[in-house]
Chain A
């Protein structure tokens, strides 16, 4: 009899092989969450006002997904995730603009950048506790911001990095026109979907269970023999990989990397998105990104005071819907 571990906030009942089970829609959704998310992603551009917005939602959703790994699943509030997102973007951009590396290699460079920066910040920050972790990550990411700002020859400084012009995506001989908005969307979507599957695997693995154990009761996890500090560090580094990928895709999409990407405002935005969508849930970050960016886009069309509306909605969520949009929806639908 095989006992399978499921992931977070969801079923932990071991399934008996061969036994007939009635599967609720909720269980089904959980088991196939990556596939379902992928399906939504594929039809997404058809319902969005314009494709570039849909791409932004994908990218910020991925960024929030990475952040969610650390905040939602591990329980650590980081206010410095912009450093991971931005490093991924800049390294990918520099690879293309300064070294003319092929697009595929540059994305890999971006992911690597995210992983390394997360390792660096993680090693320095991971021993701090609670609110101090948020402060350290903020301080360190501000240092990263100023460093990139000063390295004008590589990054363009406050003018940003320009020249990330990828016109044609060459996949094994097939040439795709990257300037075409839908083509660009689907190329980027492929990477985001791949990230979904990787994340789902991580969460469903034994390591995923340890992550949640550390969040729920650190002392007990330690007593059970798990290296809590190492778990935290590895989770943080993995998060860096996802955020780095998101950054690299952002560089390709906008064909520039603005210095603002490293500013703590960008760290703040992902916190808002994660909360809005629902932390500790799989779909929450994407839902949050869609809600936040759509709201910003729509409200901007009516009034220049969009910050008021977005801030107010955020406060309402914190006060009354702490589980976020998606979190609240599934808690209603849970069996």
Chain B
């Protein structure tokens, strides 16, 4: 086997960042929804998948990738709004498990509907022409599209941060995350806030799915594996913490990338073992709220 040069390790690190970027986007939505609504969205992977398929659909109408970047999160977010309003809202107050169970069933339904509408075998998704090819980043050639993914993720994070920190709605969200009771007492319609948070969270998931499509193609089952891995990210980072999701997402991406360098077979076990360790030693993860009771 060829020697492990510093260049190769650096390249692998970069690859880990690109991998982590998708995890981050996916986990942010999951974390937001959990932090605000205390709902574990088992259908998050299905929303991710729908984002990718929405991209396929729009492209088939002659649209281009840039339009998709805007249209897909809008479409998926709207669908997310409907789901929250009609399926999840009736379950609040019934116990923390019910929304989880509902989204679990919902994921089966969504995946099967997509199979019926688009077929079982999936679609290839071409990298947009202008983003094809590789660039020399100093330590080697790195695919241009992956750099774009890192960039797009950073842009979304920035937008989200600005929204949360600088707008009044963002203020409500942050307050609601800290203490929903007080927010309600102050006259805010919490139900509407939760509706919008769910919409935002699922919109970001759909966006992540669209970004992932050129990397691995589009199949109905694509949400399943990333969901399990994203749970790891959300738990390690801390349920409800955006910063935690970012840090943990990148960490997990790099861990997977590095273990595949040294011991590829241990890749999957390593992240679940990591998740178990964190849950046992420090259940709230890096930045999560301690003592999150049922």
Instruction: Tell me whether B272 and A308 are in contact (CB under 8 A).
Output: no
- Segment among B141-149, B245-253, B275-283 that sits at the interface with chain A: B275-283
Which residues of A sit under 8 angstroms from B113, Cβ to Cβ?
Answer: 308
Instruction: Indicate whether A128 reaches chain B with its CB closer than 8 angstroms.
Output: yes
Report the minimum CB–CB distance from A250 to chain B (whole Å): 23
Q: What's the Cα separation between A305 and B105 when bound, in Å?
A: 14
Given A143-B269, A315-B87, A319-B91, A132 and B105 touching (CB < 8 A)?
no
Task: Select B108's contact among A125, A132, A311, A318, beta carbons within 8 Å.
Answer: A311
Instruction: Tell me whether A307 and B293 are in contact (CB under 8 A).
Output: no
Q: What's the Cα separation between A314 and B106 when bound, in Å?
A: 9
Task: Select A130's contact among B87, B273, B293, beta carbons within 8 Å.
Answer: B293
Q: What's the Cα separation between A264 and B224 when bound, in Å?
A: 11
Instruction: Indicate whether B291 reaches chain A with its CB closer than 8 angstroms.
Output: yes
Instruction: Indicate whether B1 reaches chain A with its CB closer than 8 angstroms.
Output: no
Instruction: Indicate whether B205 reaches chain A with its CB closer than 8 angstroms.
Output: no
Q: What's the Cα separation between A134 and B231 when bound, in Å?
A: 11
Secondary structure at the B interface, as helix, strand, loop or mixed, is: helix
Instruction: Tell me whether B279 and A318 are in contact (CB under 8 A).
Output: no
Task: Select A131's contact among B91, B111, B292, beta carbons within 8 Å.
Answer: B292
Q: What's the Cα separation between A143 and B274 when bound, in Å?
A: 10
Instruction: Indicate whether B2 reaches chain A with its CB closer than 8 angstroms.
Output: no
Which residue of the partner chain B has the closest CB to A135? B235
Instruction: Tell me whether B235 and A318 are in contact (CB under 8 A).
Output: no
Instruction: Tell me whether A136 and B292 are in contact (CB under 8 A).
Output: no
Instruction: Tell me whether B279 and A312 are in contact (CB under 8 A).
Output: no
Instruction: Indicate whether B40 reaches chain A with its CB closer than 8 angstroms.
Output: yes
Instruction: Tell me whether B273 and A143 are in contact (CB under 8 A).
Output: yes
Which residue of the partner chain B has the closest CB to A146? B269
Instruction: Indicate whether A139 reaches chain B with its CB closer than 8 angstroms.
Output: yes
Task: Select A142's contact among B34, B91, B105, B228, beta carbons within 8 Å.
Answer: B228
Q: What's the Cα separation between A271 and B232 when bound, in Å?
A: 21
Instruction: Indicate whether B166 reaches chain A with its CB closer than 8 angstroms.
Output: no
Instruction: Indicate whether B116 reaches chain A with its CB closer than 8 angstroms.
Output: yes
Which residues of B sit under 8 angstroms from A124, Cβ to Cβ?
Answer: 276, 280
Which residue of the partner chain A has the closest CB to B101? A318
| Chain A, 123-164, CB within 8 A of any chain B CB | 124-125, 127-132, 134-136, 138-140, 142-143, 146-147, 150
Task: Select A314's contact among B96, B100, B108, B112, beta carbons within 8 Å.
Answer: B108
Instruction: Tell me whether A315 and B40 are in contact (CB under 8 A).
Output: no
Which residues of A sit under 8 angstroms from B136, Cβ to Cβ?
Answer: none
Instruction: Indicate whether A41 reaches chain B with its CB closer than 8 angstroms.
Output: no
Q: What's the Cα separation between A325 and B126 when bound, in Å?
A: 48
- Max chain A CB contacts within 10 Å: which of B38, B90, B100? B100
Instruction: Indicate whether A262 reaches chain B with its CB closer than 8 angstroms.
Output: no
Report the minimum CB–CB distance from A126 to chain B (whole Å): 10
Instruction: Indicate whether A322 reaches chain B with its CB closer than 8 angstroms.
Output: yes
Instruction: Indicate whether A310 reaches chain B with its CB closer than 8 angstroms.
Output: yes
Instruction: Indicate whether B135 reaches chain A with its CB closer than 8 angstroms.
Output: no
Given A143-B269, A319-B90, A132 and B279 touching (CB < 8 A)?
yes
Instruction: Indicate whether A272 reaches chain B with its CB closer than 8 angstroms.
Output: yes
Instruction: Tell me whether A150 and B265 are in contact (CB under 8 A).
Output: yes
Which residue of the partner chain B has the closest CB to A312? B109
Which residues of A sit under 8 angstroms from B111, Cβ to Cβ?
Answer: 307
Instruction: Indicate whether A256 reaches chain B with its CB closer than 8 angstroms.
Output: no
Report the minimum CB–CB distance from B282 to chain A (whole Å): 11
Instruction: Tell me whether A130 and B112 are in contact (CB under 8 A).
Output: no
Instruction: Indicate whether B192 reaches chain A with its CB closer than 8 angstroms.
Output: no
Given A77-B97, A132-B292, A322-B98, A314 and B105 touching (CB < 8 A)?
yes
Which residue of the partner chain A has the closest CB to B288? A132
Which residues of B sit under 8 angstroms from A136, Cβ to Cβ?
Answer: 276, 279-280, 283
Task: Select B268's contact among A146, A268, A319, beta carbons within 8 Å.
Answer: A146
6 further contact pairs, Cβ within 8 A, besides A311-B106, A311-B107: A131-B34, A142-B228, A308-B116, A314-B101, A319-B90, A319-B91
Complex A-B, nearest 4 residue pairs according to Cβ-Cβ distance, in ascending order:
A130-B294, A311-B108, A314-B105, A308-B112
Could you give 15 example pairs across A and B, Cβ below 8 Å?
A: A124-B276, A129-B291, A130-B96, A131-B38, A131-B100, A132-B235, A135-B231, A136-B283, A143-B272, A146-B269, A147-B269, A272-B105, A311-B105, A311-B109, A315-B87
